[in-house]
Structure 1
């Protein structure tokens, strides 16, 4: 299937590692120009060098999405540099799970406002595109109660609500969809850390998935790339769960 991404421009937050990097690679492999950001400048530089070495048209910038002005400046500069924006992917999370006031504030600022500010900054360019698309990254923890109920799960659920509202408000102009991953394992990721530091929790989480494993970042990225692409012309307002049958609730 031709995803019709060649010659398009996409922005991805949190694109230097894990799911975000897999999304950047997936979009670039389809021929898109991809601007990505992440907080760690060294990580951004290393990821950019490696992906450019693979022949992909990617452009990394160190940006903390919790800094609204810096995020908006990056979005506007990317639109100017690349002649517009066709898709944005809001991927960054504070991963603030324990219920503390600090974690509630971090989740609101990074997960929720980071998503809202990205969309609002990019919206003029998205509306000027003939294939404007928004993809937000939520989680199965936003859909059901699990060990991450609290700041993380609450704002992941709010992101789904926000995105479906966008789909209705922008219908016919810009599409908006959410991808909700299950547990995703990658080197340097949260589940590798849990495996090392809390093996009981890791074993419990692994045992809940009937596939017997966790997802790989590229498996989540494929869903995101499709929804961000012009091939998904009439898909908007959906929450695509990619979890290997981890969750058991019926999504109506």
Structure 2
């Protein structure tokens, strides 16, 4: 299937590792120009260079998505460099699991407001796009109570609600908005890699819960994200695409 991404311009937050890196690479492989951000400047520069090897334009900026002015400046830079914006992927999370006030504040600043400010900054450009699409990366922890109940799960649930509201309100402007909810995703240096080493009992329990007998990969989430972000999914908006190997049991009507 031709996703019709060739020549489109995309933003991906947290684009140097794991799911975000896989999304950026997949969009670039499909012909989209990609702007990434993350906090580590060396990793941003290296990733942008690697993406450019796909024959597309790729730029990066080191920033914290909790810094609203920095996010806005990055969006402006990308739009100027590419000559517009078509796709916005909000991927960054504070991964705030603990129940203390600092964790709640971090989850709100990064997961929630990092996404809201990104979308707000990009909207003037999306309104001029022929294929405007917003994708927020949520989590199955937003659908059900699991070990990540607390800030992480609460804000991931809020992201789904926020995104579906965007879909309804922006539909008259031909801007689509969807969320993608990954299950447990394994990659080196990621959360589940750390859990496998630091808490093997929890890792074994999580593995046993999934009827596929394995955890997912960043590429599997990236494939779903690239599709739902693309013009090939032109009549899909307001959806939450679960990518979890049948981990969650709740029926999503």
Return the TM-score normalized by structure 1: 0.98
Q: How big is each residue's C-alpha offset from its partner over 1:31-88, in whole Å with a ceiling of 9 and x where there is no partner?
A: 0000010011121122223333454432121111010000011001111111000000
Secondary structure of the structure 2 residue equivalent to 1:192: helix
Write the distance in 2 (CA, Å) between the matches of 1:40 and 1:248. Answer: 37
Which residue is 1:28 aligned to?
28
Residues 1:128 and 2:128 aligned together: yes
Write the distance in 1 (CA, Å) between the matches of 2:40 and 2:172. Answer: 37
Write the distance in 2 (CA, Å) between the matches of 1:127 and 1:90. Answer: 18
Question: Contact between 2:8 and 2:86, CA under 8 Å: does it hold in 1?
Answer: yes
Which residue is 1:199 aligned to?
200
Secondary structure of the structure 2 residue equivalent to 1:112: helix
Alignment map for 1:57-72 (pairs within 5 Å):
57-72=57-72
Q: How big is each residue's C-alpha offset from its partner over 1:61-117, in whole Å with a ceiling of 9 and x where there is no partner?
A: 111101000001100111111100000000000001111111000000000000000
Question: Contact between 2:59 and 2:78, CA under 8 Å: does it hold in 1?
Answer: no
Residues 1:223 and 2:224 aligned together: yes
> Aligned residue pairs: how many?
252
Secondary structure of the structure 2 residue equivalent to 1:185: coil
Gaps of 5+ in 1: none
Which residue is 1:96 aligned to?
96
Write the distance in 1 (CA, Å) between the matches of 2:54 and 2:72. Answer: 29
- CA change 1:164–1:145 in 2 (3 A) is same
Alignment map for 1:1-252 (pairs within 5 Å):
1-173=1-173, 174-252=175-253
Write the distance in 1 (CA, Å) between the matches of 2:84 and 2:11. Answer: 10
Q: How big is each residue's C-alpha offset from its partner over 1:106-146, in whole Å with a ceiling of 9 and x where there is no partner?
A: 00000000000000000000010011100000000000000
- CA change 1:44–1:122 in 2 (3 A) is same
Secondary structure of the structure 2 residue equivalent to 1:171: helix
Secondary structure of the structure 1 residue equivalent to 2:196: helix
Return the TM-score normalized by structure 2: 0.98
Question: Contact between 2:28 and 2:54, CA under 8 Å: does it hold in 1?
Answer: no
Q: How big is each residue's C-alpha offset from its partner over 1:220-243, in whole Å with a ceiling of 9 and x where there is no partner?
A: 001110111111110000000000
- CA change 1:109–1:68 in 2 (3 A) is same
Write the distance in 2 (CA, Å) between the matches of 1:42 and 1:191. Answer: 24
- CA change 1:210–1:201 in 2 (3 A) is same
